[in-house]
Structure 1
Amino acid sequence: MSPIQLNRRQLLRAAATAGGAALLAGCSTPGDKTTGGATTAATLAYWDWYVSQAPWVQNEIKLFQKAHSGIAIKKTTQVTDKYPDLMALAVRSGTAPDVFLLPKAPKLEDQVSQGWLTPLDKWATPAWQARFPEGSFVEGVNVFDGKIYSAPFSALAPSLQLYIHHGVFKEAGLVNPDGTVFVPKTWDDITRAAEAIATKSGGKVFGLGFGNAQKGALPWLIELFCRGAGSPGGTQSVDYRTGKWTYGTDRNYADFLTLLLDWKKRNFIYPSSMSISDEQARAYFAKGRFGMIVGGVWNQPAWEEGGFTDYSLVTLPSPTGTPQAFFYGFPGGYLGAISAKAKHPDDAWAWLDWFYSKEAGKRWVEGGYGLSIYPDNNDPAAVTSPTFKQYVAMAGTAINGPVPAIRNPDIAKVEVAPAQPDIPDVAAGIYTGQLKDVPKALKELEDRLNDALSTAVAKAKGQGLKVSMADYAFADWDPAKPYTTKRG
């Protein structure tokens, strides 16, 4: 699983509010638990942030409960940007769910050290691990002090794409000589397309829209455009060529934000983009209120369920049209885990095992939700949606990158304090005009993040850990090629 997918899972995830739903199984069955002669079922609390993917989860719960009649799953889908805080609060108050998707913060190794999680070794036998591709369980990634805490769910794939509304583009005359819809690949292509849409519609349709109510969409735009321009850290990590954050020293960030402000000034961007949610923005895009939107593969199931299939997608648009950096993953990966306070850990494992099964992964792919960690599941012949096939064809834009914790496991124990304001707030401040000096705002952000990292490393050294800032730098890394741990 790529970190962008985790961050997609981290960054990555579609934001919206959804209530929990209790799906209860029957009681008087051979699989039920008995207490004092009374028959009862174990009820597991399960948390995720899946909104567009909710139909897959609901179906898996239905199938699981049919096969495990003594276990009921109570699902709660939390607001994406609030998920880390809600999980931390639940842990502190002793109300953590039994099974949950891992939050972006704190880091997985910190969740382990703080006693949030149950090691899976009791159930994750060598035979169970062998179901996964080689390299799926890695010390410093999903294994800590020899104990397994999670597993990869998805194969490497691009977490963000630019979606193109065919109807809007055709109305604006954005078609190729053969009549097919023009698909922009460069920053200039996108500017020209947005201008054509605004001009031909008389300002009634916009070139680009997004939903930043949960502060996620602006970082997505920065991530997609700057990564394609050659900034391999994107918004997710330091630039591992130098081991430092580069928001202020890498001009791609200022260049893109300056371009974004120009699009806003020229009325190319849907004017309510800062106040609507990503879910609303996706609905408006499907209705043709604007011609382009940035999002992930999670966009597709809801659109297609609603009958909207008139779109194409492209990833990593760049100034030249050829991506200069890619999405980076790592050996190992993580998504789901079991709480250290789970009341029925064996039942919790049964649900987590089902969640990670090859059969569930196959249904994930067939539903168009993403790629499975099991390569056999990712057969294009099993994909019926033409748009999802476009996504599958983009798999080559995600490759393995450097992982400091693999080269030096002590790095996993470095606890970096959050630096505030971070990129979501800085991006919003720049877009709304509260921060008028773009280079200055980005340099101050870079300095805050690098100071937080160096402070954390110094503290770890003071605690006897053999770490240094050099552990984050991989001078031999070519961002255009997969990085292998053999180099480190």
Structure 2
Amino acid sequence: MYASKSSSERANKSDFKGDTQMNKWKASLALSAVSILAAGMVGCGSKNTSDASGNASASASGSNKFKLTVTSSMTDESRVEIMNETIKLFNQTHPNVTIEYNPSPWSEYAQNLKLAFTSGAGQDIVYVDDTMQQMLQKNNYLLDITDEVNSRGWADKQVPGAIEFQNARTPGKDYSVPFMTAPVVVYYNKDIFNKLNLTPPKTMDELNSIMAKVKEAGYVPMENGGMSNTPKMWSVFNMIYNQTSKDDVQQFYFQKGITPAFEKAIVSALTQVNDWQNSGYFRKEDASIDGNAVPTYYAKGQSAMVLGGNWDIPTYEGTKVPTGAFAFPAADASSQSHAIVNATDGGWALNADLSDEKKQAALDFIDTFMNPEIVKLWYEGGSTPTVKADMSGANASDLKKEVDQSIQSTEMGFFLDNAVPGLADIINKQLQMMSFHKTTPEQAWEEIKKEYNKLVLVAQGQ
């Protein structure tokens, strides 16, 4: 997720009942997450842990002072500041608990989690996307908090389906609780678009036309960051969603196999990205640019577009380039649905080895993220909360409003690299091979498929 993330994304049950149910979750989430913007939505009251204002009413269990370690990939200054404010509110009712927040960059986060837990030094509270949750849960490192989710009324406090979406691989059991979604949109330079008399595209043909015009005018059509290739990867995922059915996508994502329709869609998407590469639509130096440096290049004012998450809003606002946002376009004007890369960003999970005292305090820490005051802080910081709260008086930036407006009519789609741990690295490698003209889209897919099948067997313990 963050890329979180992607970069800023669920255990293996053979009798997964989520195909029809998941469609309902996705549709519900897509509508509900955006509807938070409307006036009048008020968070539901907690069943047993919150007062009327949403603050946790019980102090931490026991009177002894102790520490809770917390980690995530939220390292940027704005979100660290919001986290500090969240911790301050928590400490109003838990003065005996010290929260030690030590995030690490997305590029290192999964590995750091793995090393910490395998060495017996896993943090008390961790923020996990689907891939990380799979990795930790299958090794029994995470606490089953299903009873607490129910007793504390957390599902009622969130938009319908959010908790189920986050725990989709373990239906009926919850190991983490989300508090925001992670839509990926296309940020664009308004000055370049205005100068070339361009408007945000609604279809792939329109997007391709814009790319060509921008290139002809001497600008960089699309920033990417070829050492990580997340914009290319997300482009592929977006195109897959709009070229095949949800059932085909879900079979791939839930490790049930690969349909011919899915194969056709991914080869088509890889071919489109390859055509963009061959047409010079990415920066010439792209292969040597890390994804973290993309905003710096965008800030020079010579780049027309870049794919990024809503977590990037403060970053692109900070470039001082007049920036707008639009949803990655649908396949064509006749498309019956329009899905984009957008899922629950991640969720708070607990170390399975917590003492009772630490467990109760850690659960109260999660409950703090249900507080409308805290939801507002995260919303104003650029997040799209899954927690229901009245945001009518929130001080959101123009870009934040434009991002949320752009996704209102879209449906949610998984970060497909989270289908199985390790897949993101495989996709990135094949995108790099394509950019160096060492493989074709068809060959790239065959390698991705081969490694995907291997990783699925590992993930399923075979």
* Residue pairs, 1:470-481, within 5 angstroms: none
Contact 1:248 1:440 in 2 (8 A): no
Q: Secondary structure at the match of 1:91?
A: helix
- Which residue number corresponds to residue 374 of structure 1? 387
Q: Distance in 2 between matches of 1:66 and 1:369?
A: 24
**Secondary structure of the corresponding residue to residue 287 of structure 2:** coil
The one-letter amino acid of 1:118's match is L
In structure 1, the residue matched to 2:101 is 75
Which ranges in structure 2 are unaligned for 5 or more consecutive residues?
A: 9-58
Choose 1 or 2 for highest CA Rg. Answer: 1
The one-letter code sitting in structure 1 at the alignment partner of 2:442 is P
Checking the alignment, whether the CA contact within 8 Å between 2:69 and 2:123 is kept in structure 1 is yes
The reply on whether 1:191 has 2:208 as its aligned counterpart is yes
Greater shift, 284-293 or 391-400, is seen at 391-400
CA contact (8 A) 1:207 1:291 kept: yes
C-alpha deviation, 1:166, in angstroms: 0.7
Q: Find 2:240's aligned residue among 209, 226, 242.
A: 226
Cα distance between partner residues in 1 of 2:183 and 2:261: 24
Q: 1:43 touches 1:73 (CA, 8 Å); kept in 2? A: yes
Q: CA deviation at 1:358?
A: 3.5
Is the 8 Å Cα contact of residues 221 and 282 (structure 2) preserved in structure 1? yes
Q: What letter is aligned with 1:432?
A: F
Mapping for residues 356-395 of structure 1, pairs under 5 Å: 356-370=370-384, 372-377=385-390, 379=392, 382=394, 384-393=396-405, 394-395=407-408
Aligned to 1:446: 449
1:114 aligns with 2:139: yes
- Please say if residues 189 and 301 of structure 2, whose CA atoms lie closer than 8 Å, have aligned partners that are also in contact: yes
Tell me what 1:95 maps to. 121
The structure that is helix-richer by fraction is 2
Q: Which amino acid counterpart does residue 102 of structure 1 have in structure 2?
A: V
2:176 paired residue number: 150
DSSP-derived class of the 1:195 partner: helix
Give 1:259's aligned residue: 272
For residues 430-486 of structure 1, what are the alpha-carbon distances to aligned partners after superposition, in whole Å with 9 as ceiling and x for unaligned? 122232x22122134224434654787795xxxxxxxxxxxxxxxxxxxxxxxxxxx
**1:18-43 deviation digits (Å, cap 9, x = unpaired):** xxxxxxxxxxxx989877xxxxx433
Q: Contact 2:158/2:387 (CA < 8 Å) preserved in 1?
A: yes
Number of the residue aligned with 1:174: 197
Q: Counterpart of 1:77 in 2: which secondary structure?
A: coil
For 1:308 and 1:107, how far apart are their aligned partners in 2? 37
RMSD: 4.0
Q: Deviations over 1:145-184 (max 9, x none)?
A: 96542223235xx72111110112233x234xxxxxx212
Question: What secondary structure is seen at the aligned counterpart in 2 of 1:382?
Answer: coil
Return the TM-score normalized by structure 2: 0.72
Mapping for residues 333-348 of structure 1, pairs under 5 Å:
335-342=347-354, 344-348=358-362
Asked if 1:48 is matched to 2:65, the reply is no
Q: Hey, what's the Cα distance between the residues in 2 that align with 1:228 and 1:400?
A: 10
Contact 2:224/2:230 (8 A) holds in 1: no
Q: 1:64 aligns with which of 86, 90, 95?
A: 90
> Does the 8 A contact of 2:255 with 2:456 survive in 1?
no
Distance 1:439 1:285 in 2: 31
The percent identity for this pair of structures is: 18
CA distance in 1, matches of 2:279, 2:165: 50
Partner of 1:161: 185
8 A contact 1:249–1:443 mirrored in 2: no
* Inter-CA distance 133–231: structure 2 relative to 1 (3 Å threshold): closer
How far residue 363 of structure 1 moved from its aligned partner, in angstroms, is: 2.0
- Given that residues 164 and 171 in structure 2 are in contact (C-alpha distance below 8 angstroms), is that contact kept between their aligned partners in structure 1? no
Aligned partner of residue 269 in structure 1, secondary structure: coil
SS at match of 1:163: strand
Relative to 1, partners in 2 of residues 1:457 and 1:197: Cα closer, same or farther, differing over 3 Å? closer
1:271 counterpart residue number: 284
Deviation of 1:70 (Å): 2.4
Asked if the contact 1:368/1:383 (under 8 Å) is kept, the reply is no
Number of aligned pairs?
401
Structure 1 unmatched ranges of 5 or more: 1-6, 15-29, 36-40, 176-181, 402-414, 460-488
Aligned to 1:422: 426
CA pair 70-293 structure 1, distance change in 2 beyond 3 A = same
What residue is the counterpart of 1:484 in the other structure?
none
Amino acid in structure 2 at the alignment position of 1:187: M
The one-letter code sitting in structure 1 at the alignment partner of 2:376 is K
Rate the CA distance shift 1:333–1:224 in 2: closer, same or farther, 3 A.
Answer: closer
TM-score w.r.t. length of structure 1? 0.69
Q: Give 1:434's aligned residue.
A: 438
1:13 aligns with 2:30: no
Measure how far apart 1:206 and its partner are: 1.0
Q: Secondary structure of the residue that 2:131 maps to in structure 1? A: coil
Aligned: 1:354 with 2:368: yes
Distance 1:320 1:132, change over 3 A: closer
